[in-house]
């Protein structure tokens, strides 16, 4: 398996928003554990039933569940050229497990301050057909009610994108996920990006890392 890239940062930092550009530049498919878990919850699978309560509460799903999911994902044929991980790993044990199964060449850490995170998450919505990520103020549809990328007219908001749950998710991030930054820095893999700029400016900064 070729090396993978990790997109790292707090909830709402803009990982999903920037992922498309990295997929285009590198050809590595995006793997979002949040999207995989939400699909499992919608389908009502055993995995979904296990994950649901944690996700609704804004807590992390247990490591062994997530690691099992990734072990299965990297067996698929499209993983041979490496993957773009979005929202994984989120704990040191997850990163250790990843180290044993797939090489990582770069960790792109998007930094955004907590108050902006709350603002970003509370205004987030996505296209129900293609998953394009929007924001009420910062990234509205060009024509209201019509998806820019697929023309769809149905949109979704996540139940866990409420101010109360965001605070719990931020606490989980600071306690369980942010220690990973030092872990990756020690390995020389960490690249920090200031995410407190426009979507295009952050995208430019990320593109410069990929040259
Ligand atoms: P993550 O995948 O890290 O949780 P998203 O990509 O879903 O984050 O972005 C969270 C919200 O913030 C979305 O509504 C998105 O449109 C918006 N957003 C993303 N990047 C920026 C930015 N640089 N400036 C303002 N809003 C942004
Ligand atoms: P965001 O980037 O907005 O936090 P995600 O879609 O990445 O949202 O994750 C949504 C929820 O799914 C998290 O709050 C958590 O409950 C669960 N989750 C996603 N990825 C992981 C992971 N790698 N480890 C543990 N829980 C996860
Ligand atoms: Zn769409």
* Angle of CA points 112, 150, 12, to nearest 5°: 15
Parallel, antiparallel, or unpaired: how do β-strands 133-135 and 124-127 relate? antiparallel
Q: Round to whole Å and give the CA distance between 120 and 146.
A: 20
Binned at pLDDT 50, 70 and 90, residue 151 comes out as very high
pLDDT confidence of residue 158: 97
Query: CB-hemisphere CA count at 13 Å for 13?
Result: 24
> Ligand 3 is a single-atom ion; what residues have CB below 5 A from it?
127, 129-130, 132, 147, 150, 152
169 is catalytic: yes
Pocket of ligand 2 contains residue 88 by CB under 6 Å: yes
157 is catalytic: no
Residues 6+ apart with CB under 8 A from 44: none
Q: Round to whole Å and give the CA distance between 182 and 163.
A: 28
Atom of ligand 1 nearest to the CA of 19: 6
Ligand nearest to the CA of 148: 3
pLDDT confidence of residue 129: 97
Binned at pLDDT 50, 70 and 90, residue 139 comes out as very high
Q: Which helix (H) or strand (E) holds 126?
A: strand 124-127
What is this structure's pTM?
A: 0.97
Residue with tokens 């990520």, as numbered in its chain? 133
Span 201-207, average pLDDT: 98
pLDDT confidence of residue 23: 97
73 is catalytic: no
Q: Which of 28, 38, 169, 191 is catalytic?
A: 169
pLDDT confidence of residue 168: 97
Q: Round to whole Å and give the CA distance between 16 and 153.
A: 20
Condensed to tens digits (0 to 9), the pLDDT of residues 44-73 reads: 999 999 999 999 999 999 999 999 999 999
pLDDT confidence of residue 123: 98
Please, which residues bridge with residue 85 across strands?
6, 31
Q: Round to whole Å and give the CA distance between 208 and 198.
A: 16
Atom of ligand 1 nearest to the CA of 124: 14
Pocket of ligand 2 contains residue 169 by CB under 6 Å: yes
Ligand nearest to the CA of 158: 2
Condensed to tens digits (0 to 9), the pLDDT of residues 17-37 reads: 999 999 999 999 999 999 999
Above pLDDT 90, what percent of the chain? 100
Q: Which domains does the chain have, with CATH numbers?
A: 4-113+164-210 (3.40.50.300)
CA 42 to chain CA centroid, Å, is 19
Parallel, antiparallel, or unpaired: how do β-strands 84-86 and 4-8 relate? parallel
């Amino acid at each position: 398996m070729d090396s993978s890239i990790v997109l790292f940062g707090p909830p709402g930092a803009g990982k999903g928003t920037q992922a498309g550009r990295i997929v285009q530049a590198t050809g590595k498919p995006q793997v979002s554990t949040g999207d995989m878990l939400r699909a499992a919850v919608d389908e009502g699978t055993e995995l979904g039933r296990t994950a649901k309560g944690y996700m609704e509460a804004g807590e992390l799903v247990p490591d062994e569940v997530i690691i099992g999911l990734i072990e299965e994902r990297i067996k698929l044929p499209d993983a041979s050229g490496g993957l773009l991980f979005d929202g994984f790993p989120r704990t040191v044990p997850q990163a250790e497990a990843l180290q044993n199964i797939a090489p990582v060449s770069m960790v792109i850490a998007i930094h955004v301050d907590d108050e902006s995170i709350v603002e970003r998450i509370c205004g987030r919505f996505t296209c129900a057909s293609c998953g394009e990520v929007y924001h009420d103020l910062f990234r509205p549809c060009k024509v209201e009610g019509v998806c820019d990328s697929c023309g769809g007219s149905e949109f979704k908001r996540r139940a866990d994108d409420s101010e109360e749950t965001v605070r719990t998710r931020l606490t989980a991030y600071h306690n369980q996920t942010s220690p990973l930054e030092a872990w990756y820095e020690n390995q020389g893999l960490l690249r920090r990006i200031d995410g407190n700029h426009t979507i295009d400016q952050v995208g430019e900064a990320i593109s410069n890392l990929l040259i």
